[in-house]
Amino acid sequence: MAILKVIEVMADSTVSWEDATKNAVAHAAKSVNHIKSAFVQSQSVVVKDGGVSEFRVNVKITFEVK
């Protein structure tokens, strides 16, 4: 049996939601080991001058506690 923990990470990107998700996982991986999955809970954008300037995601990251 494994013990899992879930943390919530907010991240952004000027490229895409996929890139923002990758940024969230990469940032979490700096301080958390054994990441098992990431669930994108919500997505949003920042609009500037009539266009999308930033993609934002709220990601739940699950990792195993050893």
Residue type, 21: T
| Beta bridge partner(s), residue 61 | 7, 38
The confidence score (pLDDT) of residue 14 equals 97
Reading the block at residue 5, the tokens are: 């923990």
pLDDT band at 46 (very low <50, low <70, confident <90, very high): very high
> What's the pTM value of the predicted model, to 2 decimals?
0.89
**Mean pLDDT, rounded, of the chain:** 97
Task: Indicate the fold that domain 3-65 takes in CATH.
Answer: Dodecin subunit-like (3.30.1660)
Domain range annotation of the chain? 3-65
Which residues have a Cβ under 8 Å from the Cβ of 50 and sit 6 or more positions away? none
Residue 66: the pLDDT is 86
